[in-house]
Structure 1
Amino acid sequence: MEIDLLSPASFAGGQPHAQFAWLREHAPVFRHAEPDGPGFWAVTRHADVRAVDRDFQTFSSEPTVMIPDPAAEAAAAFGPYKMMLMMDPPEHTAFRKLIRSEFTEPQARLRAERIRALARQIVDAVVHKGECDFVAEVAGEMPSFVIAELMGLPLDDGRELYKLTETIHTAPEALPPGAGAAAVMKMFEYGAQVMAQKRARPGDDLASRLLACEVDGRRLEDMEFLLFFLLLIDAGGDTTRNLLSGGLLALMEHPEQLAWLTADLPARLPAAREELLRYVSPVIYMRRTARRDVELGGRRIAAGDKVVMYFGAANRDPAAIERPDALDLSREETAHLAFGNGPHVCLGQHIARVEIDAMLEEVLSRMTDFAPAGEVEWLASNFISGPKVMPLRFRAAA
């Protein structure tokens, strides 16, 4: 079996489950070559991924959660500042606390009515057309609108910022030279405008609250705010957008599961959503760096080694999930790691679930007879898994 978890081609039609299955059975902690780096350990079993994600004292999120080390230019531009995703406790805990209250389960429930209204608005715009690009016109709209409202931004700006995140997540080799860095700079330029506006006229929004809060008795510096802004915009859309588009594709491929779900949509949706999260696994990987020599899965990992957790592989591990390759929306317990676990568990998981439920309920109750209207184009990325373009034909339900 040829193993290549770096090339976007391996992820061109979704996650490479044949490679993952071979790795889980033969080399669950696999030394993967890296053409422009020292190589990394690919971790594919559920128990090992879960253990690495929880043990921040052994496996650090610094200097980055991406496989490549930060480029010298980026390190120079950011100076001593880091994105929260690339911190460890207790620093990570202090920064996470700044926004944690906005993303609790009760707070997400309070936003449910507004999110359902947005879902209706999104489906209203396409339901009578009979055809759309499901990613751009439906799946991508919801998280773009929600994060824009949270940050106190115009909804249309949320859509434009989402386009930048798509570029940021695309593999560099699939883009013109410098396109990824340019997208980050555009995000920072927009964030700097938001920073100036919110300082001059604070509102009842997350951006204003971030600028007013304190860490260790001091306000956030400009670069700290900009990195927070980038993280919230960037991470705010991934799971919802890719779960909705990838999930609908999975339902179209399993019409008996779609029929089961729509037969009693409100009651069956919570279990179905969790199974789709497991089955689709929108985030492919997160990297950690070993702080000390350690053994994992029978392999000796040296201090400084890169250790990469593959969530899609963990979510298909037969040791943790019965019949893992089957889509079974009636599963009572999926044990999935789509949102990670431990101190870095996805902060936005509760609001993502509310968004997913609202959109699936609108789409599946108001649209029917789904069929491809063209070729599905997947995001050229080894980090985020999901369709980039998904032409869809359908009709309005009675």
Structure 2
Amino acid sequence: MTNIWPEPRFDYRDPDIRNNEDEYLARQRDVCPVIRSEDFGGFWALTKFADIAEAANDHERFTTTVGPTIPPYGRPYGSKPLTSDPPEHGVYRKLLQPFFSPAATAAMEPLVRTIVRERIAEFVGQGKGDLMAELGEPVPAQVMAVLLGLDRSRSQQISLMNKKTQRSSVGEDLRSAEEVQAEILRFLTEEIESRRAGPRDDLLSTIVHSEVDGEPVTDEIRYGMATMLIVAGTDTTVSGIVNTLFHVSRYGPDFRQALLDDPEKLDLFVNEALRFDAPVFGLARSVVGDVCLRDVEMKDGDRVLLLWGSGNHDAERFDDPDTFDPDRRPAANLTFGWGRHRCLGDKLAKLEIRVVVEEVLAAMPEFRRVTDDPPPLRMDLEHGPSALEVVW
């Protein structure tokens, strides 16, 4: 195969690419499914569903141990289980799994609904608002704060630290990245030391007092696992909420009422919104040994970005993939990853999105965007609007 390098060059921060993303990536899937970028020290990007799923499942050739993001977030420690391969990966995932099981997730619904209703009550009387600032950012941060065992008031710190992490990483500002990771470390130190002295019935206590093979886990692992939950467990759902509300805003009152009346229809809608706009556009692997994929030679240590969002628009996997179909029958997509590293909190994220849609439609059923212009977009690996201004 002859590789045709993309024009313009692939840079996921480029507004021209972001604003024409479906067309750009459709062309690359056809003519150059393995893209090369020289940004962030150079990396490959996989665009086809089959290639992405294969790499996600092949830890012997594509390892996660070097880190899941391009560029790296500047953390001084790994984030297990995310940055571990089998058999170690399964050991650490098992420690967290009980908090994200179907039963545990269902038990969270009353709390999630309370948080959403409280948030809506604070701004609904204004008749206008930015749903990113009012719901997208605070709801997942508050839910994660409670799950970890933190006071809900600390959710604002969680949101701010996530913003700083993303901003410093895509701006290649190493000093700022190190500063925000030090801030997260200070934030966690207080809470971890408190749990060390007196365990509670919360996720952070479980992390602090975890053992592997009869030995306590190290502080590096404790901090890494907690950081992963604070960042990955909140920011992804932020974009999922706002993306879904954007798509709801495109439909009229009869359709909106049908979403409220029919839980299955709402579930299909949420699933399609997550497929169409994958909140995390891609995560990274590193090549082990020399790998040849579609006649492209990758060298040991090369970085590879698995573009979940591109795979979700692959015509070989989905019919008419660039059309938003609210009644699309569900097919396994890449939104929450693939294989053993599939997101632990996918069920909780979907629960939060569903509850937000239900409560928004109940409280402000006629909400509409203030303009027909495309919303401003985030320019990092999180995929979605940076704001969603509406009136009702």
* TM-score, shorter chain, exceeding 0.5: yes
Partner of 2:379: 380
* Structure 1 residue 177: Cα displacement: 6.8
Partner of 2:25: 20
- Aligned mate of 1:249, from 246, 249, 265: 246
Instruction: Give the residue type in structure 2 aligned to 1:45.
Output: K
Partner of 2:205: 208
Residue correspondences, number: 383
Partner of 2:13: 8
Query: C-alpha separation between the residues in 1 aligned to 2:309 and 2:16?
Result: 11
Q: What is the CA RMSD across the aligned residues, in angstroms?
A: 2.4
Query: C-alpha separation between the residues in 2 aligned to 1:210 and 1:82?
Result: 12
Q: Deviations over 1:79-121 (max 9, x none)?
A: xx55432211111111111111111112111222222222222
Query: C-alpha separation between the residues in 1 aligned to 2:166 and 2:73?
Result: 15
Partner of 1:50: 53
Instruction: Output aligned runs, 1:1-398, within 5 Å.
Output: 2-10=7-15, 16-34=21-39, 37=41, 39-68=42-71, 77-78=76-77, 83-170=80-167, 172=169, 174=171, 178-252=175-249, 254-255=250-251, 259-265=254-260, 266-267=262-263, 268-373=265-370, 376-381=375-380, 383-394=381-392
Change beyond 3 A, Cα 1:64–1:264: closer
Change beyond 3 A, Cα 1:312–1:3: farther
The SS at the match of 1:166 is helix
Query: C-alpha separation between the residues in 1 aligned to 2:368 and 2:18?
Result: 17
Change beyond 3 A, Cα 1:255–1:313: same
Question: Any conservation in 2 of the 1:20–1:44 contact (CA below 8 Å)?
Answer: yes
Instruction: Give the residue type in structure 2 aligned to 1:114.
Output: L
Partner of 2:3: none
Give ranges in structure 1 of 5+ residues lacking alignment.
none
Question: Any conservation in 2 of the 1:11–1:385 contact (CA below 8 Å)?
Answer: no
* Structure 1 residue 5: Cα displacement: 3.4
Query: C-alpha separation between the residues in 2 aligned to 1:121 and 1:314?
Result: 37
Change beyond 3 A, Cα 1:368–1:15: farther
* Structure 1 residue 191: Cα displacement: 0.1
Question: Any conservation in 1 of the 2:73–2:177 contact (CA below 8 Å)?
Answer: no
Query: C-alpha separation between the residues in 2 aligned to 1:125 and 1:12?
Result: 37
Q: Deviations over 1:319-354 (max 9, x none)?
A: 111111111111112432100111100010111111
Question: Any conservation in 2 of the 1:42–1:308 contact (CA below 8 Å)?
Answer: yes
TM-score, normalized by length of structure 2? 0.90
Query: C-alpha separation between the residues in 2 aligned to 1:12 and 1:371?
Result: 27
The SS at the match of 1:125 is helix
Change beyond 3 A, Cα 1:44–1:193: same
* Structure 1 residue 220: Cα displacement: 2.3
Query: C-alpha separation between the residues in 1 aligned to 2:98 and 2:180?
Result: 29
Question: Any conservation in 1 of the 2:73–2:169 contact (CA below 8 Å)?
Answer: no
The SS at the match of 2:386 is strand
Question: Any conservation in 1 of the 2:311–2:334 contact (CA below 8 Å)?
Answer: yes
The SS at the match of 1:8 is coil
Change beyond 3 A, Cα 1:178–1:127: same
TM-score, normalized by length of structure 1? 0.89
Give ranges in structure 2 of 5+ residues lacking alignment.
1-5
Question: Any conservation in 2 of the 1:148–1:155 contact (CA below 8 Å)?
Answer: yes
* Structure 1 residue 303: Cα displacement: 2.7
The SS at the match of 1:191 is helix
* Structure 1 residue 235: Cα displacement: 0.9
* Structure 1 residue 146: Cα displacement: 0.9
Instruction: Give the residue type in structure 2 aligned to 1:388.
Output: S
State, as a whole percentage, how many aligned pairs show the same letter.
Answer: 27
Change beyond 3 A, Cα 1:365–1:25: same
Change beyond 3 A, Cα 1:263–1:380: same
Query: C-alpha separation between the residues in 2 aligned to 1:90 and 1:264?
Result: 42
Question: Any conservation in 1 of the 2:10–2:36 contact (CA below 8 Å)?
Answer: no
Question: Any conservation in 1 of the 2:11–2:37 contact (CA below 8 Å)?
Answer: no
